[in-house]
Structure 1
Amino acid sequence: GTGQNGELEYYTDQRNAAMDGSGHLVMEARKEATAGSSCPSDPLSGSTTCQYTSARMNTGASFQFTYGRVEARIKVPKGNGLWPAFWMMGADFLTGRPWPYNGEVDIMEILGKDVKTAYSTVHAPAYNGGGGIGSPYKLPQSADFSADFHTWAADWNSKGITFSLDGQTVFTLDKEQVEQTRGPWIFDHPHYMILNLAVGGDWPGPTDATTPFPARMLVDYVR
């Protein structure tokens, strides 16, 4: 089905994700029309079609956990409208608790139009969407994230979450401080991991003639 946030992609079951023969998972966004009930409807024909397909994978049915170190080594794509992400969702989302009450921990988001900036953010009822608690950060010498693999990690325990990039801390969230300044901390329960490559949407903006398709997000490992 499609993503939220005004995104344009249709997530297929399997055909947009494959191994590349060198040990990497390839998540590929393609420009190809696909019919789906959750796609935008054409005002003239009434048919519902998405112009892009992509991949999203999650561990909701296979692996949920509370606390620990979550890490992935990823090479992101570059291009206007692309939106790769590595994140966690509160597992009670799967049993009907609505977002953002289940909690969302975005370990890595990058906008393809600015591949020199990455973001780590958390979302809860008291702070979500544009009001989520997060931080942008860059590589040394403002290098291009899409030029190579980088390792994003979150160390998560009952006291908070520490986000790191290539072994260097980039952002620390202290539960006590968040509760004193922003509102309830709702992350002390099982979560599952998600990897996806979104296309378009309110935050990354639209694709254009320069956006490369197919666009590929490569994942070396998730631990």
Structure 2
Amino acid sequence: MHADFPQRLTPSPPRPQSTPRSTPRSLSHAEAGLAAGQAAGGLSRKTKIALWTAAAVLVVCASVAVAVAPVPEPAPEDASALTPSPPPPPPGAADADGSSLPPGSVLLFQDDFDGTQLDSSKWSIELGTPSTANNAGQLQTYTDSSDNVWVKRGELHITALQPDRGNAYTSGRIQTRDSFYPGMRLADGTVVETVHVEARIQAAGPSQGVLSQLWMLPPDGKYGSDWPASGEIDVMGVINEGLQATQGIHYGGAWPLNQVKDVSTRAPGGQGFCDVYHVFRMDWKLNTINMYIDGAQTAAFNSIALDAAGWFASAAGTPNSAPFDIPFSIILNVAVGGKWAGAPDAASYFPATMLVDYVRVWGTPSNNTSSGGFIWDILNNPS
């Protein structure tokens, strides 16, 4: 991001004074009458009286006309030339370029992809072919090749390829080195009550068998190492033609005893998720997770602390907020095939590239910073 600085203003030189030209001056009504009288000096008394009377009538009529002449109304503005002010951004929403934060917020993570390559201090590149239940049937092998993960002109590109036009596919998957959770304590003692995750993304495709994702997993399986006993958060999932985006959570026990809650939303304004950029956001508190697309709320999920049908973790002795009360990392990837997107067909097109303009995480601090105020801190830092 670069700030635009105003140029130094230079005073305009004074205009040259021109020599005034002599122009005839219009006579006032009184001067006109006097001139008429002077012109009548050599006439008879009767003629003089007639001329003086006519001049007086002319002066009176002209004065009345000036007094009653209506003031012209200003021309109406051309409505077509007026540009309405844009509506204010929704509370907590970011600018399109990710350059602002809501008042009182604390920036936790930001990548605008302004460099020439992926920032390895912020991201790790995942390698290999996924084999967990949530990736069943997927065909891609994740690589660290610059053909699959690359940065150019302020955009992250994650590209799925079919190098030999056979059944082999390569793609990219990256994960943040940092992790985030509501209740996390910062170095200065600030406790984050709400975590906000936001990204501006154009999904890969449109193409059958392609899945673009912005999602989150815990780096440590606190409530179980088998998916999704320790939870999964889907901030964005777009498949195939990109007509709708799915946002949701996975929780409960390990597969196949897991639970899922999700909501699918059609692209706002009829512009597909593969056609233009859209902004995806999650607001995450201890017992609530809310989802947004382009500033409009699309989904709300609660824990069993707030809703008898809310999320839970089946592991023994877990708090009501589990499993979404532990650190989660952010993942971006493009997958090929699998149960959700289905297999590519003869019309599928590769390369298929997901574009990411920015990823940002910020926190809303708690009013109480005297303690962690969070079960994860208590369980993991009992001292």
- Structure 2 regions of 5+ residues with no counterpart? 1-127, 183-194, 313-321, 361-383
* Conservation of the 8 A alpha-carbon contact between 2:304 and 2:310: no
Equivalent residue for 1:45? none
Q: Which amino acid aligns with 2:175?
A: N
Structure 1 equivalent of residue 289 of structure 2: 161
| Equivalence for 1:36 | none
2:203 aligns with 76
Residue 121 of structure 1 and its aligned partner are, at CA, apart by: 1.2
Q: Is 1:31 aligned to 2:162, yes or no?
A: yes
Aligned length: 205
In structure 2, the CA distance between the partners of 1:211 and 1:174, relative to structure 1 (3 Å rule), is: same
Q: Deviations over 1:28-47 (max 9, x none)?
A: 100025xxxxxxxxxxxxxx
- Counterpart CA distance in 2 for 1:127 and 1:168 is 32
Question: What is the CA–CA distance in structure 2 between the aligned matches of 1:203 and 1:178, rounded to whole Å?
Answer: 30
Pick from 118, 125, 136 the counterpart of residue 5 of structure 1: 136
Q: Which structure has greater helix proportion?
A: 2
RMSD: 2.5
Map of 1:37 onto structure 2: none
- Mapped to 2, the partners of 1:192 and 1:102 lie a distance apart of 12
Alignment partner, residue 348 of structure 2: 211
Is 1:174 matched up with 2:302? yes
> Structure 2 counterpart of 1:108, which letter?
M
Structure 1 or 2: more strand by fraction:
1
What is residue 110 of structure 1 aligned with on the other side? 238
Question: Any idea what SS the aligned residue of 2:227 has?
Answer: coil
- Work out which of the two has the higher radius of gyration on C-alpha atoms and give 1 or 2: 2
Separation of aligned partners in 2, 1:128 and 1:156: 24
Does the aligned pair in 1 maintain the 2:207–2:349 contact within 8 Å?
Answer: yes
Cα 1:160/1:96, change in 2 over 3 Å: closer
Distance 1:145 1:53, change over 3 A: same
Q: Which residue of 2 aligns with 1:149?
A: 277
Give the superposition deviation at 1:145.
Answer: 1.3
Conservation of the 8 A alpha-carbon contact between 1:126 and 1:183: no
Aligned residue number for residue 188 of structure 1:
325
Distance 1:104 1:219 in 2: 21
**How many percent of aligned residue pairs carry the same amino acid?**
33
Report deviation, 1:94: 9.5
Structure with more relative contact order (C-alpha pairs < 8 Å, separation 6 or more): 1
Superposed displacement of residue 136, structure 1: 0.7
What is the match of residue 132 of structure 1? Answer: 260
Q: 1:174 to 1:75 in 2, by over 3 A?
A: same
Scaled by the length of structure 2, what TM-score is found? Answer: 0.50
**Amino acid in structure 2 at the alignment position of 1:124:** Y
Which residue matches 2:97?
none
Flag the 1:17–1:96 CA change in 2: closer, same or farther, 3 A: farther
Structure 1 gaps, min length 5: 34-48
